[in-house]
Chain A
């Protein structure tokens, strides 16, 4: 009896593995930066080339969102309303990293769709992006008061992602200390 059921048992195990595998997104990499200090960089401000933004100084002090975006990125456009809503609520500052873009196009984009960012870093060569492990825009990081990365989301900030992943983490970090 047991011997007859063994192949069925092994098959069921295989099916479970395959089922779980199907549900996972192969494009989503676990970030090694979680619970690590946000990589530092000093880059120009998007609006003011004379102003330099230092991630290790300017991104600290408050629980914040860091959003990597570009004017050429279609999904960024789609998630923009969500960022605008978050910034209107005013609980968390949102910092933008403008990734591989031109100053003019980036500024036009923000002028047309609204600017949810407290600060925008201009990263035309993608150097900061490389240090932050960016591989697909948009990417959104949550950093805590000490400037440690606590969450990373790759892709559109849909309502589902916001409600199940981003907002709970923000509340959790804000209630700490």
Chain B
């Protein structure tokens, strides 16, 4: 009885803490709906510099909150999305962008997936062609040279009064 009550208590406490962390991300107020949607998109497109693999919208880190606040104030100040992204990049580097820009240093990054796909496609084509040729070759050599020879051998090995014949009859 006591243990079950303890379990309920613990369970409700866990629920409480869950609510607590969820509410740390505060909802920001904006003048217009468009600003709000822009804000929502920007904070999900900007990567948090200190939290591995989170954007600044998801993170509870102090720095992420600072950056969210900065995004909000820049939106309210009438800055464009590009200006805000450029502001973040000039401070924290291109790390903050989930989509890296296309320029000479990142060519390799952009090209490699397509290159690998192309190489894979090439290998597949070669493999299919090879297999096709091999089976065709087998067919040809078998029907023409070897098999006719073997067939002749087999035919000549059958004698009119061979035991096989008798067995077949009985």
Is the CB of B98 closer than 8 A to any CB of chain A? no
CA distance A29 to B97 in the complex (A): 13
Contact at A135–B89, with CB atoms within 8 Å?
Answer: no
Shortest C-beta distance, A32 to chain B (Å), equals 4
Q: Are B93 and A32 in contact (CB under 8 A)?
A: yes
In chain A between 4 and 25, which residues have their CB closer than 8 angstroms to a CB of chain B?
none
Question: Interface residues of B toward A: which range?
Answer: 10 to 19
A136–B50 CA distance with the chains assembled, in angstroms: 7
In the complex, the chain A residue whose C-beta lies closest to that of B52 is: A26
**CB-defined contacts of A32 to chain B, threshold 8 Å:** 89-94
The reply to whether A33 and B91 form a contact with Cβ atoms under 8 Å apart is yes
Answer whether residue B113 sits at the interface, using C-beta atoms and an 8 A cutoff.
Answer: no
Give A33 to B90 CA distance when docked, in angstroms.
7
Stretch among A42-50, A126-134, A155-163 lining the B interface: A126-134
Cβ contacts under 8 Å, B94 to chain A: 32
CA distance A39 to B94 in the complex (A): 18
Known contacts A29-B49, A32-B89, A135-B50; is-contact A126 B66 (Cβ 8 Å): yes
B133 within 8 A of A: no
Residues of B within 8 A of A136 (CB): 50
Q: Kindly state whether residue A100 has any CB partner on chain B within 8 Å.
A: yes
Q: Nearest CB to that of B95 among chain A residues?
A: A29
For the complex, what is the distance from the CA of A126 to the CA of B92, rounded to whole Å? 15
- Spell out B's residues near A (CB within 8 Å): 49-50, 52, 62-63, 66-67, 70, 89-95
15 additional A-B pairs beyond A26-B52, A32-B94, A132-B91, beta carbons within 8 Å, are A29-B49, A29-B93, A29-B95, A32-B89, A32-B90, A32-B91, A126-B66, A130-B70, A131-B91, A133-B91, A133-B93, A135-B49, A135-B50, A135-B92, A136-B50
Q: List 23 A–B pairs whose Cβ atoms lie within 8 Å, in order of A's numbering.
A: A26-B52, A27-B50, A27-B52, A29-B49, A29-B93, A29-B95, A30-B93, A32-B89, A32-B90, A32-B94, A33-B90, A33-B91, A39-B91, A100-B62, A126-B66, A130-B67, A130-B91, A131-B91, A133-B92, A133-B93, A135-B49, A135-B63, A135-B92
A-B pairs, 5 with minimum CB distance: A133-B91, A32-B93, A135-B49, A135-B50, A29-B95
